[in-house]
């Protein structure tokens, strides 16, 4: 009898202890969640949430009536301080090049270019690329295996051994969440989500010939020869990149960052992406709601008569503003948020499809209009909004509210891009913990 009472007491204590671990029956949330602090992404600036009057701040010079005034609210996000530069985009190109080389070498020369098992000893199929294994471009076996990556002999110029950039193809994926949210198709996708995963393959090398085909009867061959690859242009904005290429860069940048976070067993961040045009305009205004230009004033010159952006002054005096073609991505003074060249230098891709009447039907909360145009659709479906004006544009297109478009499958010598990433949370002022998880 004493043994029964003794074991009964032990069970009672154990039960009470287990209740204590569960919060005495109260909902307290999952315990031992990892402390997390959002660090500012490298090269980006924080744009606080806010509301502003989207649309023209000055006369609609072309009388296009595509930018009616509208009050909208934007959630907090980060934006690249400068346009993506040649050297930053080159990192993407080299990643694609080295991925292809590792895959070839892993299949034909050395299996060490692959990672075939995870940390638990489970097989990885297909295997991951081993980025710690350096590529031996000059080895006998390597030269033979990688020969197809170079230009064939009959296409070489003065026998220069150069990578065939037509073979630098990037396969990328994304999830169509807007399609998943449609009531008409939700039941179908609940059973099979694979149809929501979209895939595309795109050549990543910029169209360096854009400097020539964009301008008839103009001598721009020096820019085609040197602009993308020469070290002298490393800090200049990348051009000759289509909307699809810019989108692919954002997806690669997301996976590149998440691979690092995964290796540190840290949670993923939001995806890098192109800004919506409402985000772009909000960031360009720099907190000056009704100002026509990013620097906060109604003029393109300062009080000393100096130009504040790189564009086409007067009737074609391209050097009057201190530029000629493009200038370095951090030239001229930044706006109040710390963003460089939000007006002039190069126009910038946004994520939005262009519709003349979009302002009439988009929401006033994070306005967004996207359309995924297929290659065989009418060209008007392929229009994407560009913002900011460029080195070849007149002053009207430098205004915060001016909008125009280019086609998603075209690459221009005056269009570049920068990325954004949504802030996790409401606002930085709501973040009451330090990186160690302690209360401030």
Cα gap 291→297, rounded to integer Å: 6
Question: pLDDT tens digits, residue range 336-380?
Answer: 999 999 999 999 999 999 998 888 889 999 999 999 888 899 999
Residue 192 within any structural domain of the chain: no
Q: Which two tokens stand for residue 261?
A: 């976070």
Q: Which residue has the higher pLDDT, 336 or 25?
A: 336
Same domain, 144 and 6: no
Is 10 inside a domain boundary?
Answer: yes
**C-alpha closest to that of 355 among 395, 402, 403, 393:** 403
- Do 79 and 98 have their domain in common? no
pLDDT at 2 over 70: no
pLDDT reading at 245 higher than 60: yes
Distances from the Cα of 386 to the Cαs of 119, 206, 292, 314, 402, in angstroms? 45, 18, 17, 23, 9
- Could you tell me the end-to-end alpha-carbon distance of the chain, in angstroms, rounded to an integer? 57
DSSP H helices in 345-431: 358-361
More confidently predicted of 280 and 32: 280
Is residue 371 a part of any domain in this protein?
yes
pLDDT score, position 22: 59
Co-location of 77 and 148 in the same domain = no
**Residue 204 pLDDT class (50, 70, 90 cuts):** very high
Q: Are both 375 and 341 inside the same structural domain?
A: yes
Least confident of 28-37, 171-180, 249-258: 28-37
Backbone dihedral angles phi then psi of residue 154, each to the nearest 5 degrees: -75, -10
Task: State residue 68's pLDDT score.
Answer: 80
pLDDT at 89: 98
* Of residues 138, 146, 141, the one with CA closest to residue 163: 146
In a shared domain, residues 380 and 413:
yes
Q: What is the CATH number of the domain that holds 307?
A: 3.90.1580.10
**Banded model confidence at residue 13, pLDDT cuts 50, 70, 90:** very low
Asked if residue 372 and residue 344 are part of one domain, the reply reads yes
| Neighbouring C-beta atoms of residue 55, cutoff 10 Å | 18
Q: Which residues contact 148 (CB under 8 A, 6 or more apart)?
A: 104, 167
Write down the pLDDT at residue 9.
47
Classify residue 28: in a domain, yes or no.
Answer: yes
What tens digit of pLDDT does each residue of 283-296 get? 999 999 888 999 98
pLDDT value of position 73: 94
What is the token pair recorded at 196?
A: 């929501």
Statement: residue 423 has pLDDT above 90: yes
DSSP 406: E
How much is the average pLDDT of 312-337?
89
Residue 18, token pair as written in the block: 């287990």
Q: Are residues 22 and 162 in the same domain?
A: no
What is the SS3 assignment for 213? helix
Closest CA to 211 of 429, 415, 13: 415
Query: How many CA atoms, within 13 angstroms, populate the side-chain half-sphere of residue 315?
Result: 0
Across the chain, mean pLDDT equals: 87
Q: What is the pLDDT of residue 384?
A: 97
Q: Is 416 a residue whose pLDDT tops 80? A: yes
pLDDT of residue 237: 97
Indicate if the pLDDT at residue 207 is higher than 50: yes
Query: Is the pLDDT score of 432 beyond 70?
Result: no
Interatomic CA distance for residues 304 and 302, integer angstroms: 5
Higher-confidence position of 297 and 12? 297
Are the CB atoms for 308 and 302 separated by under 8 Å? yes
Determine the average pLDDT of the residues in 58-62. Answer: 72
Whether residue 219 is found in the same domain as residue 281? yes
Domain count across the chain: 3
Is 60 exceeded by the pLDDT of residue 17? no
Do 192 and 165 meet the contact criterion of CB atoms below 8 Å apart?
Answer: no
Q: Containing domain of residue 230, as a range?
A: 34-85+204-440
pLDDT at 160 over 70: yes
Q: How many CA atoms lie within 13 A of 342 on its CB side?
A: 30
Give the Å distances, CA to CA, from 404 to 276, 348, 384, 386.
14, 10, 8, 6
316 CB burial (10 A radius; 0-12, 13-18, 19+): exposed
162 and 112 part of one domain: yes
Instruction: Kindly report the backbone phi and psi dihedral angles of residue 272, in degrees, each rounded to the nearest multiple of 5, phi listed first.
Output: -75, 145
Residue 127 belongs to a domain: yes
């Amino acid at each position: 009898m004493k043994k029964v009472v003794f074991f009964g007491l032990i069970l009672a204590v154990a039960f009470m202890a287990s209740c204590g671990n569960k919060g005495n029956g109260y909902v307290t949330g999952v315990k031992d969640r990892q402390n997390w602090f959002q660090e500012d992404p490298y090269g980006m600036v924080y744009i606080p949430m806010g509301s502003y009057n989207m649309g023209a701040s000055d006369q609609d010079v072309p009388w296009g009536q595509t930018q009616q005034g509208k009050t909208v609210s934007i959630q907090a996000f980060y934006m690249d301080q400068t346009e993506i530069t040649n050297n930053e985009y080159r990192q993407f190109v080299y990643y694609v090049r080295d991925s292809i080389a590792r895959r070839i070498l892993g299949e034909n020369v050395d299996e060490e270019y692959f990672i075939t098992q995870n940390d638990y000893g489970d097989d990885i199929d297909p295997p991951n690329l081993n980025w710690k294994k350096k590529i031996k471009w000059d080895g006998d076996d390597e030269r033979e295996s990688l020969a197809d990556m170079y230009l064939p002999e009959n296409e070489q110029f003065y026998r220069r051994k150069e990578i065939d950039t037509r073979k630098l193809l990037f396969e990328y994926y994304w999830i169509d969440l807007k399609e998943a949210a449609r009531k008409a198709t939700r039941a179908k996708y609940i059973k099979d989500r694979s149809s929501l995963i979209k895939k595309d393959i795109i050549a990543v090398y910029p169209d360096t010939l854009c400097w020539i085909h964009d301008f008839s009867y103009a001598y721009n061959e020096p820019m085609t020869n040197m602009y993308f690859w020469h070290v002298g242009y490393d800090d200049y904005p990348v051009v000759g990149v289509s909307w699809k290429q810019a989108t692919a860069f954002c997806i690669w940048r997301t996976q590149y960052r998440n691979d690092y976070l995964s290796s540190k067993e840290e949670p993923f961040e939001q995806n890098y992406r192109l800004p919506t045009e409402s985000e772009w305009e909000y960031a360009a205004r720099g907190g000056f709601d009704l100002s026509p230009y990013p620097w906060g004033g109604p003029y393109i010159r300062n009080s000393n008569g100096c130009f504040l952006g790189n564009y086409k002054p007067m009737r074609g005096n391209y050097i009057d503003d201190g530029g000629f073609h493009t200038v370095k991505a951090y030239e001229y003074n930044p706006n109040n948020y710390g963003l460089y060249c939000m007006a002039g230098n190069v126009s910038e891709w946004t994520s939005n499809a262009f519709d003349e009447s979009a302002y009439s039907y988009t929401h006033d909360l994070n306005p967004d209009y996207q359309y995924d145009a297929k290659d065989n659709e009418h060209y008007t479906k392929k229009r994407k909004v560009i913002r900011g004006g460029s080195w070849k544009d007149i002053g009207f297109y430098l205004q915060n509210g001016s909008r125009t478009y280019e086609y998603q499958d075209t690459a221009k010598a005056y269009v570049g891009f920068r990325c954004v990433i949504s802030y996790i949370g409401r606002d930085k002022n709501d973040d009451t913990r330090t990186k160690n998880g302690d209360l401030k």
